[in-house]
Amino acid sequence: MKRNRFFHILAAIALVAGIGLTAASCSEDKLGETIFPDPKSELDPNSYSYQLDKWLKTNFLDVYNLDYQYKMEDVGTNMNYNLVPASYSQSLDVAVLTKYLWFDAYKEVTGSEEFLKTYGPRIIMLIGSPAYNPTSGTMILGLAEGGIKVSIFRVNEMNTEDFASLNEYMFKTMHHEFSHILHQTKTIPREFQLISLGHYDSSNWQDRDEGVVASLGFISTYGSSEMREDFAEIIANYITKTQEDWDHWMDMASRGWATDAEDELADNVTYYCYYYYKNNDASNGPTYCKESQVVHEGDNKYFGTGKDSSGNRIIVYDVEDTDGVDGVAVLNQKVQIARTWFAEEWGIDLDKLRQIVQYRQLNFNLEELRKQVTDIK
């Protein structure tokens, strides 16, 4: 019994001690300073990259809450690809162009930074090389992931002296990827989803001919790969393509295209929109020719200075458009849907945005833009 009492007392002490110890162990949950201090949050004025880091912080992080990553960490990329970082100097150029041609353009068209602060990506990552897909012979130029991150590839190959290449590989890519961000936030109109249904080719788009896809109502071969890319390509090309380039594409879209290749699926098959008959004799069958070989005289077209056995000039004919699609009408319809979507869903005038971007594209002074960074003390 005595033993029992002692045991009870001991048990009581144990109960109190146990509760006390348990409570004490829980007291460790008090929040203290973070154990993950961010050493990047403080910019070192003595660092080699201070000017660019400071400019990015001031112009992207502070304004748009956007982390502009040009110092590449491979964990931020698809490790299945071999990729390299962007160079410092190219990163600087792309950074100022990103702001001028993309962020400032949207700011101008919407009247404030709020639009991109709300809907813009949270991360932009620059990657020096393309991501190659050797089996398909394609390369990735940009990625938009989860509505928050845009990756721009091929930065090291950007040639600031070559507008056409800049437009194709950089400016268009920026707007293309942002279009993805936008449609990842608000759905692509159903009407658009149905227009080119049945004409997409996700596995062989890279082998398709530009004339053929234009005639089918696509703005690029990549746009013919799938509906979402079609949507992003329509917007990006409409915004960035010069009027001259746009008109040229629409001209291609208005034509019929044919090839004399026996195997249309073979590599490097050429398609033509003109043909003639040797010696002007239809029994010889059509011989296809390129625009550069055709002489236009009024409404007539001739094959260079060639003549038939009777001394008559060789007449050139347009290839008949047999794909059953009015390419120009489809392209215009797609632009109109995008125009309406921008206006109704985002309150943005797509044509005004195009006008602003086109002006900026053709009138930027890279040296002056660079000074925003290099003048930082």
The footprint of another protein (CB under 8 A) covers 4, 7-8, 11-12, 14-15, 17-22, 24-26, 35-37, 39, 44, 46-49, 70-75, 79, 81-88, 90-91, 128-134, 139, 156
Non-local (6+) Cβ contacts of 72 within 8 A are 83, 84, 85, 86, 125, 126, 127, 128
User: CB-wise, 16 or 282, nearer to another protein?
Assistant: 16
Closest by Cα among 98, 107, 104 to 158 = 98
**CB 129, min distance to another protein, A:** 5
CB of 253 to another protein, least distance (A): 32
How far apart are CB 299 and another protein at their closest, in Å?
A: 45
| C-alpha to C-alpha distances, 10 to 2, 3, 16, 19, 375, nearest whole angstrom | 12, 10, 10, 14, 76
Nearer to another protein, 88 or 359 (CB): 88
Tell me how far, at minimum, the Cβ of 73 lies from another protein, in Å.
6
Show the CA angle centred on residue 252, arms to residues 170 and 244, nearest 5°.
Answer: 50
Measured CA to CA, the distance from residue 171 to residue 236 in angstroms comes to 8
Taking CB atoms within 8 Å and a gap of at least 24, the contacts of 278-285 are 278/314, 279/308, 279/309, 279/314, 280/308, 280/310, 280/312, 280/314, 280/315, 281/308
CA 54 to chain centre: 27
Minimum Å gap between C-beta 66 and another protein is 19
274/257 Cα distance (integer angstroms)? 8
CB of 45 to another protein, least distance (A): 10
